[in-house]
Amino acid sequence: MADHDHQHHQNHHESSLSSPSTRQIVRFLTAATIGLSLLLLSGLTLTGTVIGLIIATPLMVLFSPVLVPAVITTGILTAGFLFSGGYGVAAVTALSWIYRYVTGKHPIGSDRVDYARSMISEKAKELGHYAHAQTTHQTTRSD
């Protein structure tokens, strides 16, 4: 009897592992429905695009002498506005940095500017001393 109950429990356990549950079936059907819907939607979009292209091609050919220069002009204008805007932002950023530096707020990179300024000042003093020594030396020789 115990052997019969054990075999029945084992058969029930094996059947539950091999057959999918209702929840798994619902998930699969939901995923399949969504996937097929998206596939259908992409097919319809492609079909609509091709039909639109077929209809628009004669119009594009007729108006291409006008459209091509218009697209080129629009592209150049757009690039010009983007570049000028970029340079404007760069200029405002640079002026803002200079203002913060001059007012003593120590913006990022000001330590490098201070170091470069001290190195230039040091070299200028060395050259000044060298030039003064040269002029003094030439003055004493010419006397």
pTM of full prediction above 0.75 = no
Query: What's the confidence (pLDDT) of residue 143?
Result: 57
Query: What's the confidence (pLDDT) of residue 20?
Result: 81
Which alpha helices (DSSP H) does 1-143 contain, by range?
2-18, 22-102, 110-142
Query: What's the confidence (pLDDT) of residue 92?
Result: 93
Query: What's the confidence (pLDDT) of residue 66?
Result: 86
DSSP structure string for 26-42: HHHHHHHHHHHHHHHHH
Tokens linked to 68: 């091509």
Query: What's the confidence (pLDDT) of residue 116?
Result: 92
Below-50 pLDDT ranges, the chain: 1
